[in-house]
Structure 1
Amino acid sequence: MTPLTLPAADNSSTFTPPGLESLHLPAILPWGADEGFTKQMLLVLLSVFFIAWFFIAASRKQQLVPGKLQFLGEQLYGFVRNSIGKDVIGGRDFMAFVPLLFALFFFLLLNNIYGAIPLFQLPTMSHVGGAYFLAGLVYVIWIGVGLKRFGIRYLKLAVVPSGVPWFIMPIVVPIEIISNFIVRPMTHSLRLFATMLAGHLVVALAGSGIAFLIAQENVLVKGISVLVLVFAIAMYMLEALIMVLQAYVFTLLTAIYIQGAVAADAH
């Protein structure tokens, strides 16, 4: 698709709004025509380092009366453990899955919030590969949990709801198969990817629009840039909120899927 071009201030060149290439930057260390070590990869590795460093530092000096860092670490851990793991999966089975939920939430939180941090300014989940990988990992885990607990019978429990009349089953079962095994992993990944990409692209477009308007000779047009700036700040704050919410939603859905697999015979 040809990018939209607008006349620049001096009418000698064109203004090209930001596109996907503005988010998916060239490889830092290329090793092929379209491959290499990218900024997304670097940020993912840094996120693992930052998360590990923080929680190791928070738990290093464990005290009965916690210091500020230990208190913050305990509160963050407790939020995932209790508000997501225990409340969703249930008090009997949740502890086995707390490490997964904990790692998912903070990994996504930091990789999303990169987009609101100056210099980093790139949510790594705006690249669909990361979202696909995490959703695929969760997909394998919750199916594996169901198979481990119920054996091959789990496949029947997952698609044959209890209490449904037999004559409706030919309609319900295909819907359940498509919903649970096809639509669920697709929406799990695309929800995360689409919100990260769209939000960051809107902010990038607003920033480029401000630069374009300021470069114009017309004073009125320059003044409009102030309104665009207000809009950009509002979108920036909204995007930051969505970054946190999407980390929570992805982890919450993971807990819901696992709970469904653990208690499949109760459905």
Structure 2
Amino acid sequence: MLLADSGFSGPSINDFFPPPILFAGTLFEINRVTVIRFIATLAILLIFGLGTRRMRVVPGRFQSIVEMGLDFVRLNIAEDLLGKKDGARFLPLITTIFFMVLFFNLTGIVPGLNMAGSAVIGVPLVLAIVAYGAFIYAGLRRNPSGFFRSSLFPPGVPWPLYIIVTPIELISTFIVRPVTLVLRLMMNMVVGHLLLVLFFSGTAWFLFQAPAAFKLLGLGTMVFGFAFTLMEILVGALQAYIFALLTGVYIQLAIADEH
């Protein structure tokens, strides 16, 4: 009650739907979240453009960092799941997904941006469609005539059980998987944003507006804010890894021998 009476304003879901800046009411509407996505995309292009522009046999520090990131995706996701041949085929896709999710997630802790570009459904949805499109493409490329049949009618199951098994496989494989890709990424970023705004706006209120007896509480919310900032970095990197990993897993399932 004290917070409400004193004018404290906590985070709101409206933070994710800021007013338009340009082209209001059109398909090309640009708002604060869109600008953040543009900035994250530009950062990706600059970092990898500069890091790979003049490759040296003995790399410098910046080139080494870029190569370490690329090798991490190649060795620990693409080749580990798909092998060298198929890993090389799908490496550009998996690498793009990993670093796009990573950079878009980390904008949530950048001062002045303070919003993950992946916290609104558009980006997670597009990435999930691309990832799942790769799954369907890989399956049809490997087994054009039997991919859907083996997915919906797993071999070795007594035929009467297909009445139960086939609807379950349809829902779990072709509906639940892409939906969970979207929700897992988006909801983690939404919750992270709300917590950070809550702690830091609470810190500002306790320090500058609250009665003197409550000002020390601002130190506690500040500590929690910095702790959750570190947590948000970890979660952002982990979600990028999970999204890229699941993309590789789905592709691996599509090209497995049983399909």
Q: Normalising by structure 1, what TM-score?
A: 0.89
2:102 corresponds to: 109
Deviation per CA, 1:180-226: give whole Å up to 9, x if none. 0010100011100000011111110112222232312242x212222
* Cα distance in 2, alignment partners of residues 243 and 188 from structure 1: 14
Deviation at 1:261, TM superposition (A): 1.0
Deviation per CA, 1:17-74: give whole Å up to 9, x if none. 2202224322221422997211222222232322222222222222221111222221
Q: Which moved more, 1:28-37 or 1:148-157?
A: 28-37
State whether structure 2 residue 140 is matched by structure 1 residue 147.
Answer: yes
* Cα distance in 1, alignment partners of residues 254 and 164 from structure 2: 22
- The 8 Å contact of residues 135 and 189 in structure 1, kept in 2 or not, is answered as yes
State whether structure 2 residue 258 is matched by structure 1 residue 266.
Answer: yes
Number of residues paired by the alignment? 257
2:4 corresponds to: 6
- The 8 Å contact of residues 135 and 251 in structure 2, kept in 1 or not, is answered as yes
Q: Which moved more, 1:122-131 or 1:206-215?
A: 206-215
Q: What are the equivalent positions in structure 2 for 1:121-132 lying under 5 Å apart? A: 121-132=114-125
* Cα distance in 1, alignment partners of residues 123 and 41 from structure 2: 14
Q: Secondary structure at the match of 2:216?
A: helix
Which residue of 11, 14, 21 corresponds with 1:18?
A: 11
* Cα distance in 1, alignment partners of residues 15 and 82 from structure 2: 40
Q: Secondary structure at the match of 1:90?
A: helix
Which residue of 202, 205, 213 corresponds with 1:209?
A: 202
- The 8 Å contact of residues 113 and 243 in structure 1, kept in 2 or not, is answered as yes
Report sequence identity in percent. 34
1:118 corresponds to: 111
- The 8 Å contact of residues 27 and 35 in structure 1, kept in 2 or not, is answered as no
1:11 corresponds to: none
- The 8 Å contact of residues 74 and 91 in structure 2, kept in 1 or not, is answered as yes
Report the aligned-residue RMSD: 2.1
* Cα distance in 2, alignment partners of residues 35 and 73 from structure 1: 33
1:194 corresponds to: 187
* Cα distance in 2, alignment partners of residues 171 and 246 from structure 1: 33
Distance 1:163 1:91, change over 3 A: farther
* Cα distance in 2, alignment partners of residues 201 and 34 from structure 1: 27
1:78 corresponds to: 71
State whether structure 2 residue 43 is matched by structure 1 residue 50.
Answer: yes
- The 8 Å contact of residues 18 and 32 in structure 2, kept in 1 or not, is answered as yes
Q: Normalising by structure 2, what TM-score?
A: 0.92
* Cα distance in 2, alignment partners of residues 157 and 111 from structure 1: 36
Letter in 1 for 2:104: N
* Cα distance in 2, alignment partners of residues 77 and 156 from structure 1: 36
Q: Secondary structure at the match of 1:28?
A: strand
List alignment gaps of at least 5 residues for structure 1.
9-13
Deviation at 1:171, TM superposition (A): 1.8
1:174 corresponds to: 167
1:29 corresponds to: 22
- The 8 Å contact of residues 16 and 33 in structure 2, kept in 1 or not, is answered as no
2:60 corresponds to: 67
* Cα distance in 1, alignment partners of residues 136 and 249 from structure 2: 12
State whether structure 2 residue 249 is matched by structure 1 residue 256.
Answer: yes
* Cα distance in 1, alignment partners of residues 146 and 158 from structure 2: 20
Letter in 1 for 2:129: G
Q: Secondary structure at the match of 1:93?
A: helix
Q: Which moved more, 1:107-116 or 1:142-151?
A: 142-151
Letter in 2 for 1:51: I
Distance 1:47 1:33, change over 3 A: closer
